[in-house]
């Protein structure tokens, strides 16, 4: 059988990012454009500093258009040099030469493949993080609204899969919100300060950049090139909206490790939300439901199913990104001034982590904005244990009358009996000789009201909402 000729990755096995803004932002064409933007920005900056003719910089910028490149051919040609920058520079030079043969001499001046590719990856990350941060603003706003609306809506807290004590759905939503705010703040700092341009030349000494400066600007020699080599990376960073590095980071891969870690923590936070939604939407729980949409959550075999599709997509990303970040942590062990294989192993994991995190963030915004909450079912589920969910409170209250040890023993004994007999805990306690004449069944039922035992849930919700109000733009809330 002849294999199909269309080889573009459309996300057939990655529905979490397929069709989302992150898909376009991390496509092969977007990756190529980021590297071309790096080349064009370098030429413009060099022109401003006087080492490249202004006309040449203009021609390079005009030629640096990804749509004029054959992606499939470029990828195959990359095999010969073990990186895509070499054939990219060759074709870019040809395109510039067609406009102005003299300008072609200014393409890639003083640069090296790693400068272009690393800067391109940072640009790709910056552009994708901008999308992610916008989606996190949406998610935070939706979760804040849920937390405020359900600040006092009682539900069962669950530990190790079982009912523990009462809580509120507002507090659960606030917990989700806190994780999103943490991830948002972390990614925001990274976007502003942690995505540096790469500018080192052939082996990290900046020698090529300096030599061309000495050729075109002899006055550069007066201070040994110090001023020029200080201005060049600063100007390139400003041109591209990236951070300025202290020194070249060809083998100090902290920026990529930091990026990967932040993406893993983000997908972990979003995966936690998705996991909760998945569990709470089980038939046995029925407390929340994903937003309905045509064709969403359907089963190929069971017509009645309404599967938590959005949650499944988000969780799929949360499971994958940490493994990709593990690869980035391994490649941080970089030898010499450019390693063989370690550098090359970074590119795809970075792209995959960005697109998975971007897809998860976009999906989480949709999930949070449309989440359907069944407060009545939450209250009904609180009654499933017939008062046992509030046994902790009763043990504390009865300790005043009986002493702590006796009260705890009494409530534990009564709880076991109530569970066995399938009756309310208040009825068993009212029959116990230790409480004879002390409390009626009605009084005990009142003390066992789940809504009256949610602790500081409301205050904790307010704390998170206050933080959200400080950090998330008002237009998003």
Exposure string over 292-319, b if 16+ CB within 10 A, otherwise e: eeeeebeeeeeeeeeebbbbbbbbbbbe
**Start-to-end Cα distance in the chain:** 55
Contacts 24+ apart (CB under 8 A), 89-97: 89/39, 89/113, 89/116, 92/36, 92/39, 92/60, 92/63, 92/64, 95/63, 95/68, 96/56, 96/59, 96/60, 96/63
Rounded Cα gap, residues 153 and 169, in angstroms: 6
Residues in the chain: 477
Residues annotated catalytic, as ranges: 299, 338
The two structure tokens encoding residue 19: 């069709």
Enumerate residues 6+ apart whose C-beta is below 8 A from 430. 439, 440, 441, 444
Alpha helices (H) along 252-339: 254-280, 309-331
Quote the strand ranges of 89-139, DSSP E: none
What distance in Å separates the CA atoms of residue 114 and residue 123, rounded to the nearest whole number?
Answer: 14
Contact 162, 249 (CB under 8 A): no
Give the separation between CA 155 and CA 279, rounded to whole angstroms.
Answer: 14
Crossing angle of helices 169-193 and 254-280, rounded to 10°: 160
Q: Which two tokens stand for residue 436?
A: 């004879």
Q: What are the start-end ranges of the E strands in 5-161? A: 154-159
């Amino acid at each position: 059988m002849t294999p199909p000729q269309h080889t573009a990755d459309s996300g057939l096995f990655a529905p979490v990012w397929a069709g989302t803004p992150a898909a376009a932002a991390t496509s092969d064409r977007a990756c190529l454009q980021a590297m071309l933007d790096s080349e064009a920005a370098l030429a413009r900056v060099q022109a401003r500093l006087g080492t490249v003719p202004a006309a040449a910089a203009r021609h390079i910028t005009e030629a640096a258009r990804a749509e004029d490149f054959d992606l499939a051919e470029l990828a195959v040609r990359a095999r010969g040099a073990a990186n895509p920058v070499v054939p990219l520079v060759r074709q870019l030079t040809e395109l510039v030469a067609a406009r102005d043969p003299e300008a072609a001499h200014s393409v890639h001046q003083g640069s090296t493949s790693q400068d272009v590719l690393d800067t391109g990856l940072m640009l790709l990350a910056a552009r994708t993080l901008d999308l992610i941060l916008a989606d996190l603003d949406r998610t935070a706003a939706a979760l804040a609204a849920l937390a405020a609306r359900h600040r006092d809506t009682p539900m069962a807290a669950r530990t190790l899969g079982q009912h523990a004590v009462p809580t509120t759905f507002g507090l659960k939503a606030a917990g989700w919100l806190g994780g999103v705010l943490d991830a948002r703040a972390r990614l925001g700092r990274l976007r502003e300060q942690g995505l540096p341009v790469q500018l080192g030349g052939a082996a990290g000494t900046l020698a090529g950049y300096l030599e061309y400066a000495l050729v075109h600007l002899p006055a550069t020699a007066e201070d040994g090139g110090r001023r020029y080599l200080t201005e060049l990376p600063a100007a390139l960073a400003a041109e591209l909206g990236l951070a300025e590095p202290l020194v070249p980071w060809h083998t100090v891969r902290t920026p990529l490790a930091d990026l990967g870690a932040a993406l893993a923590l983000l997908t972990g936070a979003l995966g936690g939300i998705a996991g909760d939604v998945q569990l709470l939407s089980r038939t046995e729980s029925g407390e929340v439901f994903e937003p309905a949409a045509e064709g969403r959550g359907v089963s190929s075999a069971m017509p009645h199913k309404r599967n938590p599709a959005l949650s499944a997509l988000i969780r799929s990303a949360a499971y994958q990104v940490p493994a990709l970040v593990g690869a980035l942590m391994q490649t941080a062990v970089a030898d010499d001034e450019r390693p063989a294989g370690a550098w090359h192993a970074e590119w795809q994991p970075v792209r995959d982590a960005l697109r998975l995190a971007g897809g998860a963030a976009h999906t989480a915004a949709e999930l949070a904005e449309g989440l359907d909450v069944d407060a009545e079912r939450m209250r009904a589920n609180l009654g499933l244990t017939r008062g046992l969910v509030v046994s902790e409170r009763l043990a504390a209250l009865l300790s005043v009358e009986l002493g702590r040890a006796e009260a705890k023993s009494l409530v534990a004994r009564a709880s076991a009996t109530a569970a066995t007999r399938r009756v309310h805990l208040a009825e068993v306690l009212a029959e116990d000789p230790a409480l004879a004449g002390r409390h009626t069944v009605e009084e005990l039922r009142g003390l066992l009201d789940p809504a009256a035992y949610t602790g500081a849930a409301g205050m904790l919700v307010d704390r998170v909402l206050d933080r959200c109000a400080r950090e998330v733009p008002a237009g998003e809330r």
